[in-house]
Every structure is written in structure tokens, then in C-alpha cells.
């Protein structure tokens, strides 16, 4: 009721202003067309006295323009409170046209006063009256259109825009991205401040949404500038690796100890270092072998991720783990490499079981296989072995053997005495082959970097679902105190659930503190909208009847960033939320903004980039390219090593009376 009374009072004030403007208009006619009124006998001495007093004290009639401006001002104010029936066909073109005609008739008729006789006075009053009526109509229409037109914001942009962080908050670990966001009818400059990258970051977005260009690339650059050691999974090698390499060249002085740049690339051995992820010096327990086998087999058989714990999933993993541990304990791990494990697994299973079970460490581990073998369940045993052999056979490659049998560096990338920037490159055309080997590097790195007293480090995985990263959920949950920043890029949550399983996918989604999302659709957009919460929004309703138009405004809680907005984001536009620290509070953690990228600067940087140089030249003193012969020689050596191991081990077993029972009967 109070609101209705206020509206009635405002309407009365507006009506009074319009009445005053009409009175001043009549006074204007009386003053400047006095001869016309005098001839008609329409003059009064009292009116003359009042007007002369007005003129003497206020100078209101010193020039025709003064009263016209005053009349227009009062008329404009009176139109603000106009009520009436809304005309849905009303357009701004019509309003501007009537407004223009009114201004011409109202202001451009002074010359008529200089004409002799009453005709000039009559034309002057007629034109000015027509102009006044036109201006009043334009004002009324404009007021109705501005106040009642709900179609001005059909997509609810004003309600769903909100004030975002405009401060730049930097610290020794932060990643800071400049933004441009819409609020209160204009674009504002702001910042996305990831002040605690150790609480992990997810970057979502459909292909082409700009997640790598706007966010992942900035993570790499800014963290190198702040002295992070770094592990980068480069799905489309060498996109990210080239950025990292050139940034290290430019900012190596930001590190206490100059970092070394390493590359793992199976496609081109000339541009790849060699590294053995199964280095025996870093394997302390058979559980390490099991973790390695688990990662390898689940990368080769993605469907097994959903069936973890099943007999036919665990059996080949246990067999491969036993082989890896055997190679670790045999001759102090001299042959403990992934290629040697593949070759040993592909030998006669009777020889393999005989050798493995001759070791007390492995006897109980392999008891399910031995029971099947000794119980005559040959078909079951063949099935178990084939489950491991078939997928691993796809990985037999001289180039892969070459890279994984060397020892150019260790995987402790955040060792303060020897910091490293390690880039591992995949190939979209061969990802099914390479993913298992690269997943093995991932799982071993996770074990090394998640320790206290190490250098601050960053793990950047773009296109996460193309590789199975065992232990990733645990790394996110526990590595914060060890200064490990994880940044994961992928397309949407359904993709993550498909390739990592529902349980692990949920853990990753729910333990990440910083989230960026470009355009995503479906359940992912709905989930994000719920995560960003709701805000109080205005709602306007309009009622039109024959005599009047009434509008009402109400408020209700609605999504801050609805799913429909997330599913239609433009390239470079992102929504999300960041986390803060005790001593660095961020009141507005949510954002809906365009991440500003200096395209010219990026283009200039890219143009000046140096390609990653050849790491190993296979050219000999005579100028011959020896790459193929050397890689083939290494490939044959791995095979020969396994043949020699089997021969030596079988001779040892035959010579030991206590092991005679293990030798299969012909």
C-alpha cells in the first residue's frame, strides 16, 4: 500500500509540472503576441502587472528562448511519471520523428513575430502549440517505452551480470589473468587471481573455446617466470613444449639453480631424451611394480577402468607386476626396463612361470597362476596371459624401446638441486600405443614429486582423458602442502567420467579449488551452474488493459550463471570460480568474463620462438646418419637380453635340486 501511495503522489507532482508548463506557455503568448490580445480586448491590467513584475525580478521574458527552455524542462520532467496504455507497435523511429518535428515547430518560429499584423501572431501561436503537443507526445511515448518495454533485455543480461574482482592480487605462486566483464550496462576491466594454484585447477571447454590459448599457455608462462619446476603432458606435441622451451630460455635466471629442459618424444628420437621410468633405484617395494603395471594395463584397456577388481582385470596386472619386480631384483636391476618386461612377457609361459616362481618374493604373488597351471586349467591360464600379451604386443616398437631403455635423467623433476622442465609428447594418431608408456611416466612422477622439502612444481595435463593418470585424485587431495600445482584441461565432465570411471571422476571434480569453463553443454553446464549458486534477481511483470498499463517488480533467487549461458559462451569467454587464502581473501570468487589476451604480443612472441633443437645427433664422423641402425641394434639387444636371462635362469633352476619340481614335465 505504501508503494501505491508513493506512485500516486509522484503522478500528482508530474501533473502539476505539466500544468505549470502550460501556464508559462500561455504567459509567453500573452507577452510576445500582446497586440493580438489587445485588439481582441482580451487583456487585463492585473495580468499585465504580474507579468511586468516577473520580468523585472526574473528577466523571464528578456528573450523568447528563455521561456521556451523553461517550458521544455517542465514538460520533460512531467513525462517521467506518465501512465497509460502501452502501444506494442511503438518504435524509437516514430518517437525521434515526432520529437524532431516538435523541436522545429517549437523553436524555429521566432521570425513569425516580426511579421506585421495579427496573422504573424496567430501563426506563431499555432506553430508553437503544435510543437508543444508534438514534444509532449514524444515525451509520453518515450517514457512508456523506457518504463514498460520488457523486451529491452530479453536474455536477462543485466540481472545476470555481477561485479567481479578488479584488484590484481599477486604472490610468489599466483597466476593472474586480465579480464573484461559486463556490469551495469558497460564493460569493465578486472582480474582472475589464482592466488593458490596448489588447490588444483580444472579447465573445461569444447574444442575451439580457447582453453589452451587463454589459460593453459598462461599457466606455463607465469609459473616458469616464478621459478616452478614443471611436468607438461603435450598431447599435440610440440605446441606446449615449444612455449615452455622458449620461456625457460628467457627466464632461467628466475631459478636459484638453472633448470634443465627435457623432452620425451617417441616419434622423433633425435628430439627426445631417454629415460627409464622403471629405474630400479626408485623402486623400493613390489607395490611400486604393481602401480606401474596397473597404469600400463589400464591405459591399454580403457574399459578395464570401470571393472577394477575383476579377476580378468587383476590377473594380467599381477602377472606384469611380477615380471617387473623380477627384473628389478635380477642382477641388481640391470635389465629393469619396460621394453625388457614386454619381451619377457611374450616368451613361453612355461619358462616365465618357472623362473618367476623360483623366487620366494614372487611365489605367493603368482599362486593363482600356478594353481591354474598345476590344476590343468590351461584354457584359463592362456586367457589370463593373453589379456596381458595382446595389448602389450601393440607397443613393440624400436623407437619406443630406444627412448625407454636409456637413462639421461631421473623423474624427480622438483629436486631443488636439479630442477627440471619435462615435456612428454603424445601423437593423436598413435595415442593408443603411446598412452600406456606416457601413463607410466605420469604415475612414477606423481610418486616422486609428492614429497616434502622439494621445489615448488607444476603438473600440467592438457587433454587429460587421452591418458590414464593413476593416482591423480590422490595427488590433488594431498599435494597442496608439498607445493604441487595441478592444472587439468579437458572438454567436459562426461568425457572424464567415460575414461576415468564415475568414482574417480567425481573425486577429481569435487576436490579441485579453481575452475574455468568455456562453452560446455548438457549435464556439465547444469553441474557448473549449480556450483556457482544463486543470486537475488529482479523480475518485472507488465499488465495491459484498455485504459491503463501497470507494471510490478519482484525479486527471487535464480542461477547466477544459468546453464543456457554456459552452453552459448563465445570463444575466449569463461565462467568459473577461484579459491583464496587466509591472508588473501577474495570476496567475489565467481567470474563471467572474457580473458584478455594481447594477440599482437603473442603473435610476436610465437614468431620469435626457437624450435626445440636436436638432442641427439646420430651422424657419425663420416657424416652417415646412424639413427636407424642404432635403434635397431638397441631393439635386438633388448630381445637378446631376455633370451640370455631365460637361458641362464633355466640352467640355474635345473642345477638346484630344491627347484627341480618347478621344471615343467614334457
Q: Which of 12-16, 86-90, 259-263, 585-589 has the highest mean pLDDT?
A: 259-263
Query: Which grid coordinates belong to 578?
Result: 577461484
Dist. CA 300–CA 288, nearest whole Å:
19
Strand partners, 488: 202, 461
640 or 537: which leads in pLDDT: 640
**Which CATH code of 3.40.1690.10, 3.40.50.300, 2.40.50.100, 3.20.20.60 fits the domain covering 163-269+419-447+456-525+570-612?**
3.40.50.300
pLDDT for residue 192: 95
Describe the crossing of helices 522-532 and 493-500 by its angle, rounded to 10 degrees: 110
Cis preceding linkage at 617, omega within 30 = no
Q: Does residue 624 sit in helix, strand or coil?
A: coil
CA nearest to 457, candidates 449, 447, 465 = 449
E strand or H helix that includes residue 554: strand 549-559
Q: Using an 8 Å Cβ cutoff, are 263 and 233 in contact?
A: no
Query: Which grid coordinates belong to 325?
Result: 619386480
Please list the helix, strand and coil fractions of the chain in percent, rounded to the nearest 5, in that order. Answer: 55, 15, 30
In three state form, how does the secondary structure of 154-218 look?
CCCHHHHCCCCCCCCCCCCCCEEEEEEEEECCEEEEEEEEECCHHHCEEEECCCCCCHHHHHHHH
Cα–Cα separations (whole angstroms), residue 519 to 120, 313, 341, 498, 565: 68, 37, 43, 19, 9
pTM: 0.76
535 or 347: which leads in pLDDT: 347
610 or 540: which leads in pLDDT: 610
pLDDT tops 80 at residue 527:
yes
Q: Using an 8 Å Cβ cutoff, are 208 and 237 in contact?
A: no
355 or 349: which leads in pLDDT: 355
Query: Which grid coordinates belong to 241?
Result: 613444449
pLDDT for residue 171: 92
Query: Which grid coordinates belong to 77?
Result: 520532467
pLDDT tops 50 at residue 274:
yes
pLDDT for residue 300: 79
As a whole number, the mean pLDDT across the chain is 84
Range list for CATH 3.40.50.300 in the chain = 163-269+419-447+456-525+570-612
DSSP letter (8 states) at residue 615: S
Q: pLDDT tens digits, residue range 361-379? A: 887 777 766 666 666 656 6
State the Cα torsion 221-227-231-235 to the nearest 10°.
Answer: 10
Q: How many CB atoms lie within 10 A of CB 116?
A: 8
Query: Which grid coordinates belong to 160?
Result: 545476470
Query: Which grid coordinates belong to 545?
Result: 488493459
Dist. CA 179–CA 382, nearest whole Å:
59
Dist. CA 377–CA 379, nearest whole Å:
6
Dist. CA 156–CA 171, nearest whole Å:
37
Q: Which positions ≥6 away from 294 have C-beta within 8 Å?
A: 317, 321, 443, 470
Cα–Cα separations (whole angstroms), residue 552 to 69, 85, 351, 540, 643: 34, 15, 86, 6, 87
Q: Using an 8 Å Cβ cutoff, are 437 and 468 in contact?
A: no
Dist. CA 245–CA 251, nearest whole Å:
10
Least-confidence region, from 9-13, 351-355, 505-509, 560-564: 9-13
pLDDT for residue 1: 47
Query: Which grid coordinates belong to 185?
Result: 550496462
Cα–Cα separations (whole angstroms), residue 172 to 223, 416, 553, 595: 9, 17, 48, 22
Q: Using an 8 Å Cβ cutoff, are 29 and 125 in contact?
A: yes
The DSSP annotation for 354-418 comes to HHHHTSHHHHTTTHHHHHHHHTT-HHHHHHHHHHHHHHHHTT--HHHHHHHT--S--S-TT-TTS
| For residues 421-441, average pLDDT | 84
Q: Using an 8 Å Cβ cutoff, are 591 and 579 in contact?
A: no
pLDDT tops 60 at residue 85:
no
Cα–Cα separations (whole angstroms), residue 47 to 26, 121, 255: 11, 19, 91
Dist. CA 78–CA 72, nearest whole Å:
10
Backbone φ and ψ of 558, nearest 5°: -145, 165
pLDDT tops 60 at residue 3:
no
Dist. CA 459–CA 229, nearest whole Å:
9
Dist. CA 73–CA 71, nearest whole Å:
6
Q: Using an 8 Å Cβ cutoff, are 520 and 566 in contact?
A: yes
Dist. CA 420–CA 422, nearest whole Å:
6
Strand partners, 33: none
Strand partners, 203: 489, 516
Helices and strands (H and E) in the chain: how many: 26, 13
Chain-centre distance for alpha carbon 434? 26
pLDDT for residue 604: 93
pLDDT tops 90 at residue 18:
no
pLDDT tops 90 at residue 579:
yes
Q: pLDDT tens digits, residue range 601-645? A: 999 999 999 999 988 887 777 777 788 889 999 999 999 999 999
Dist. CA 643–CA 351, nearest whole Å:
11
Amino acid at each position: 500500500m505504501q508503494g501505491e501511495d508513493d506512485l500516486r503522489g509522484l503522478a500528482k507532482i508530474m501533473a502539476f509540472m505539466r500544468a505549470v508548463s502550460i501556464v508559462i506557455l500561455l504567459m509567453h503568448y500573452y507577452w510576445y503576441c500582446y497586440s493580438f490580445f489587445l485588439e481582441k480586448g482580451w487583456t487585463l491590467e492585473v495580468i499585465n502587472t504580474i507579468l511586468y513584475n516577473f520580468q523585472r525580478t526574473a528577466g523571464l521574458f528578456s528573450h523568447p528562448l528563455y521561456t521556451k527552455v523553461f517550458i521544455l524542462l517542465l514538460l520533460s520532467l512531467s513525462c517521467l511519471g506518465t501512465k497509460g496504455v502501452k502501444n506494442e507497435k511503438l518504435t524509437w523511429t516514430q518517437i525521434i520523428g515526432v520529437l524532431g518535428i516538435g523541436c522545429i515547430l517549437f523553436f524555429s518560429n521566432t521570425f513569425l513575430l516580426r511579421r506585421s499584423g495579427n496573422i504573424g501572431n496567430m501563426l506563431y501561436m499555432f506553430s508553437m502549440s503544435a510543437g508543444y503537443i508534438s514534444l509532449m507526445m514524444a515525451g509520453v511515448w518515450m517514457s512508456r517505452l523506457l518504463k514498460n518495454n520488457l523486451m529491452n533485455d530479453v536474455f536477462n543480461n543485466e540481472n545476470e551480470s555481477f561485479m567481479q574482482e578488479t584488484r590484481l592480487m599477486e604472490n610468489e605462486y599466483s597466476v593472474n589473468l586480465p579480464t573484461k566483464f559486463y556490469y551495469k550496462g558497460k564493460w569493465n576491466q578486472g582480474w582472475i587471481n589464482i592466488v593458490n594454484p596448489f588447490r588444483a585447477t580444472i579447465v573445461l571447454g569444447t574444442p575451439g573455446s580457447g582453453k589452451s590459448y587463454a589459460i593453459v599457455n598462461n599457466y606455463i608462462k607465469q609459473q616458469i617466470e616464478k621459478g616452478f619446476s614443471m611436468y607438461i603432458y603435450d598431447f599435440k606435441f610440440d605446441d606446449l613444449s615449444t612455449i615452455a622451451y622458449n620461456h625457460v630460455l628467457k627466464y632461467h635466471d628466475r631459478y636459484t639453480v638453472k633448470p634443465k629442459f627435457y623432452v620425451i618424444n617417441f616419434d622423433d628420437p633425435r628430439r627426445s631424451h631417454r629415460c627409464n621410468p622403471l629405474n630400479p633405484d626408485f623402486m623400493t617395494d613390489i607395490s611400486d611394480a604393481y602401480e606401474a603395471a596397473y597404469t600400463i594395463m589400464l591405459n591399454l584397456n580403457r574399459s578395464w577402468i570401470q571393472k577394477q577388481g575383476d579377476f580378468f582385470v587383476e590377473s594380467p596386472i599381477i602377472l606384469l607386476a611380477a615380471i617387473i619386480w623380477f627384473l628389478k631384483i635380477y642382477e641388481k636391476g640391470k635389465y629393469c626396463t619396460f621394453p625388457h618386461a614386454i619381451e619377457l612377457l611374450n616368451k613361453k609361459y612355461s619358462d616365465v612361470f618357472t623362473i618367476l616362481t623360483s623366487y620366494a618374493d614372487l611365489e605367493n604373488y603368482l599362486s593363482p597362476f600356478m594353481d591354474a597351471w598345476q590344476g590343468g586349467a590351461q584354457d584359463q591360464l592362456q586367457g589370463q596371459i593373453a589379456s596381458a600379451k595382446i595389448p602389450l604386443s601393440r607397443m613393440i616398437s624400436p623407437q619406443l624401446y630406444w627412448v625407454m631403455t636409456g637413462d639421461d635423467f631421473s623423474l624427480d623433476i622438483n629436486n631443488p638441486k636439479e630442477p627440471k622442465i619435462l615435456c612428454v609428447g603424445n601423437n593423436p594418431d598413435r595415442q593408443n600405443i603411446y598412452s600406456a608408456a606416457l601413463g607410466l611416466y605420469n604415475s612414477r612422477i606423481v610418486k616422486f614429486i609428492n614429497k616434502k622439502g622439494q621445489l615448488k612444481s607444476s603438473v600440467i595435463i592438457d587433454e587429460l582423458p587421452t591418458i590414464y593418470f593413476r593416482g591423480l585424485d590422490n595427488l590433488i587431495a594431498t599435494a597442496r602442502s608439498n607445493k604441487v600445482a595441478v592444472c587439468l584441461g579437458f572438454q567436459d565432465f562426461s568425457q572424464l567420467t567415460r575414461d576415468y570411471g564415475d568414482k574417480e571422476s567425481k573425486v577429481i571434480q569435487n576436490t579441485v579449488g579453481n575452475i574455468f569453463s568455456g562453452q560446455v553443454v548438457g549435464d556439465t553446464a547444469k553441474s557448473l551452474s549449480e556450483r556457482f549458486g544463486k543470486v537475488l534477481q529482479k523480475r518485472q511483470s507488465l499488465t495491459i488493459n484498455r485504459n491503463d498499463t501497470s507494471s510490478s517488480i519482484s525479486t527471487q533467487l535464480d542461477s547466477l550463471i544459468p546453464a543456457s549461458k554456459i552452453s552459448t559462451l563465445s570463444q575466449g569467454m569463461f565462467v568459473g570460480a577461484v579459491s583464496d587464502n587466509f591472508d588473501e581473501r577474495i570476496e567475489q570468487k565467481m567470474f563471467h568474463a572474457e580473458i584478455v589476451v594481447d594477440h599482437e604480443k603473442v603473435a610476436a612472441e610465437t614468431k620469435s620462438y626457437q624450435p626445440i633443437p636436436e638432442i641427439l645427433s646420430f651422424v657419425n664422423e663420416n657424416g652417415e646418419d646412424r639413427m636407424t641402425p642404432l635403434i635397431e641394434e638397441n631393439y635386438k639387444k633388448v630381445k637378446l637380453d631376455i633370451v640370455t636371462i631365460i637361458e641362464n635362469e633355466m640352467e640355474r633352476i635345473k642345477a638346484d635340486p630344491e627347484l627341480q619340481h618347478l621344471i615343467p614335465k614334457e
